[in-house]
């Protein structure tokens, strides 16, 4: 859908301004996503990046039979409790010794098992007697306390699939496989632009009618958690010619451009006007069937995704979670695109809206093992404190009647469920709630 050539077409304008349900908006965005190219980076810099190709084991791991504990390498079928100690096997080298009946080698955890040995007796099951060791264990079994060759990974195994996030365990596996550098998806390049003459920097003194710019910092924190390369983060010019030139500059440099503010119905909502008028930009939609976050503009310029977010702080973070975060994950080829959605039982009444509403919530596990949820009180889109300490967005479908305590809704989990109530942001723990009138 291009905008300017059809600006006088009522059907076009109706379709452009039709409120899109979140799932429809997601589908539109998905069709516009282009995967970023892969690149090779040193393993030391690969943590939390997205693996861009399957990792196939080129060797067995472990490559030799290894002891799983400190003890004595023995031949399991030798019935005698006495063994002569003929060496000491540490990790990192291999003794040229073969174990036969009546002999043993002291061995350390992770060290290669000598030839002829097929079991390791733990040191706590032995007793030293001069140059001998006495085995206080009658049922030594073949293979006991030994990791066989390839018991962790076999040569040719798929160790990690492309799209895997390289967390601590995954990064360690890559190192175990001897891969360095590692092929990962390039970090998406993103600009974050705040708009509005009323915005001032956090360290500045507020003048009449001014507010501090919080959206830029919230969005940048969310982008950093997704491994993005933030190429610009600041205030955009608030005059149309300068803003248009600035947007062209950022579009030419980035994969994604995110603006905050300037997309509603006012005469000075310049971002909305620029996205609509520019012949180089394709405007796909500019309203969502969503609360908070109704006035959201999505456009593209070639392969560049442009998100014009609302100016209210909660609206910008909710729409980031619902639409932008999944798009970034798809752009990098991540296997896990969506946050977990789980059913939760409401602890209290929740007023329904005329749109799908994402309420900031706290999900806990009750005594019966069920997931229960409550919101964080007042849900105004300007109240950023309603987001602090939350671990979920409660998805409240529209309806005319109130949701009662005990009803089930879906929750988008931003973190793990809490095991117990606790002080969070603008909310209080269960034991203190009765002392706080009006807290829902």
Write the pLDDT tens digit of every residue in 159-187: 999 999 999 999 999 999 999 999 999 99
Beta-strand relationship, 229-235 and 189-194 = parallel
pLDDT band at 438 (very low <50, low <70, confident <90, very high): very low
Question: Two tokens at 140?
Answer: 């030594």
Query: Considering the entire predicted model, what is its pTM?
Result: 0.85
Are the CB atoms for 133 and 24 separated by under 8 Å?
no
Q: Which of 50-54, 201-205, 320-324, 341-345 has the lowest mean pLDDT?
A: 201-205
> Any idea what DSSP says for residue 125?
G
Q: Would the pLDDT of 6 be above 70?
A: no
Residue with tokens 């977990």: 340
| CB contact set of 207 (below 8 Å; sequence gap of 6+) | 200
Over residues 94-137, the pLDDT tens digits come to 999 999 999 999 999 999 999 999 999 999 999 999 889 999 99
Q: How far is 125 from 98, CA to CA, in rounded Å?
A: 22
* pLDDT on residue 132: 94
Protein fold of 4-36+187-331 = Molybdenum Cofactor Biosythetic Enzyme; Chain A (3.40.980)
What pLDDT is attached to residue 201?
77
CB 224 within 8 A of CB 230: yes
pLDDT score of 200 = 81
Residues 324 and 308: beta-carbon distance below 8 Å = no
pLDDT the model gives residue 208: 86
Average pLDDT (348-364) is 96
Tokens of 259: 């603006």
In this model, does residue 372 exceed pLDDT 80? yes
What average pLDDT does range 356-381 have in this prediction? 94
In whole angstroms, what is the distance from residue 199 CA to residue 235 CA?
8
Over the stretch 420-430, which tens digit does the pLDDT of each residue have? 655 444 444 44
User: pLDDT class for 433, splitting at 50, 70, 90?
Assistant: very low
Q: How far apart are CA 378 and CA 325, in angstroms?
A: 25
The mean per-residue pLDDT over the stretch 34-43 comes to 98
Q: Are 359 and 350 in contact (CB under 8 A)?
A: yes
CA-to-CA distance for 389 and 315, rounded, in angstroms?
Answer: 17
**The pLDDT value given to residue 7:** 61
Q: Does the structure show a pLDDT above 80 at 294?
A: yes
pLDDT tens string 190-211 = 999 998 778 887 888 888 887 8
CA–CA distance, 406 with 370 (Å, rounded to integer): 11
Query: 411 pLDDT band (50/70/90 cuts)?
Result: very high
Q: Check residue 430 and give its pLDDT.
A: 44
**For residue 4, what are its two tokens?**
């300017």
Q: Which residues partner with 300 through β-bridges?
A: 282, 305
pLDDT at 130: 87
Taking phi over 0 as left and psi of -120 to 50 as alpha, with beta for the rest, 323 belongs to alpha
Lowest mean pLDDT among 126-130, 223-227, 432-436: 432-436
| Mean pLDDT, the chain, whole residue set | 91
Task: Please say if the pLDDT value at position 265 is more than 90.
Answer: no
* Predicted pLDDT of residue 249: 96
Ranking 90-99, 215-224, 290-299, 377-386 by mean pLDDT, the lowest is 377-386
Q: Please enumerate in sequence order all residues whose Cβ is within 8 A of that of 141, keeping only pairs 6 or more positions apart, or say none.
A: 76, 119
Q: What is the pLDDT at residue 426?
A: 44
Q: In 3-state terms, what secondary structure has residue 24?
A: helix
Give residue for tokens 């993103």: 190
Residues 390, 314: contact at Cβ < 8 Å? no
Domain with residues 341-433, CATH architecture = Beta Barrel (2.40)
Where exactly are the structural domains of the chain?
A: 4-36+187-331, 39-59+163-185, 66-147, 341-433
Residue 267 reports pLDDT greater than 70: no
pLDDT of 43 reads 98
Provide the 3-class DSSP secondary structure of residue 175: helix
Residue 440 has pLDDT above 50, yes or no: no
Question: With pLDDT > 70 as the criterion, what percentage of the chain qualifies?
Answer: 92
Q: Does domain 66-147 have CATH number 3.40.718.10?
A: no
Rounded distance between C-alpha atoms, residue 357 and residue 411, angstroms: 11
State pLDDT tens for residues 396-410: 999 999 999 999 999
């Amino acid at each position: 859908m291009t905008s300017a050539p059809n600006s006088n077409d009522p059907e076009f304008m109706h379709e452009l301004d039709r409120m899109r349900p979140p799932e429809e908006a997601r589908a539109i965005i998905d069709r516009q996503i282009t995967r970023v190219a892969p690149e090779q980076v040193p393993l030391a810099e690969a943590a939390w990046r997205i693996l861009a190709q399957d990792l196939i084991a080129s060797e067995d791991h472990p490559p030799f039979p290894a002891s799983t504990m400190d003890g004595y390498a023995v031949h399991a079928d030798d019935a005698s409790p006495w063994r002569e100690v003929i060496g000491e096997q540490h990790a990192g080298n291999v003794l040229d010794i073969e174990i036969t009946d009546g002999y043993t080698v002291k061995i350390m955890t992770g060290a290669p098992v000598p030839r002829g040995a097929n079991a390791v007796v733990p040191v706590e099951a032995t007793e030293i007697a001069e140059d001998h060791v006495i085995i206080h264990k009658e049922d030594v079994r073949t293979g006991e306390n030994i990791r066989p060759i390839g018991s962790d990974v076999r040569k040719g195994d798929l160790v990690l699939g492309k799209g895997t996030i390289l967390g601590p365990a995954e990064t360690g596996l890559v190192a175990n496989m001897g891969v360095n550098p590692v092929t990962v998806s390039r970090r998406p390049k993103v600009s974050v632009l705040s708009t509005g003459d009323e915005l001032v920097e956090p360290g500045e003194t507020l003048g009449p009618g001014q507010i501090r710019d919080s959206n830029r910092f919230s969005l940048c924190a969310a982008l950093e958690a997704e491994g993005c390369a933030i190429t610009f983060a600041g205030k955009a010019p608030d005059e149309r010619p300068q803003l248009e030139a600035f947007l062209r500059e950022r579009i030419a440099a980035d994969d994604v451009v995110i603006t905050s503010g300037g997309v509603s119905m006012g005469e000075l909502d310049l971002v909305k006007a620029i996205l609509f008028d520019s012949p180089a930009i394709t405007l796909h939609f500019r309203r969502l069937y969503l609360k908070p976050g109704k006035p959201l503009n999505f456009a593209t310029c070639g392969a560049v995704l442009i998100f014009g977010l609302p100016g209210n702080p909660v609206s910008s973070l909710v729409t980031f979670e619902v639409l932008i975060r999944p798009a970034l994950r798809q752009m990098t080829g991540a296997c896990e695109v969506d946050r977990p959605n789980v059913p939760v039982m409401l602890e209290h009444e929740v007023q329904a809206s005329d749109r799908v509403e994402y309420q900031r919530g706290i999900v806990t596990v009750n005594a019966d093992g069920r997931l229960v949820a409550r919101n964080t009180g007042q849900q105004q889109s300007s109240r950023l404190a309603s987001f602090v300490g939350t671990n979920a967005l409660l998805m409240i479908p529209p309806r005319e009647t109130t949701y009662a305590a005990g009803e089930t809704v879906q929750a988008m989990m931003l973190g793990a469920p809490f095991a117990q109530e606790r002080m969070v942001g603008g909310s209080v723990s269960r034991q203190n709630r009765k002392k706080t009138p009006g807290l829902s």
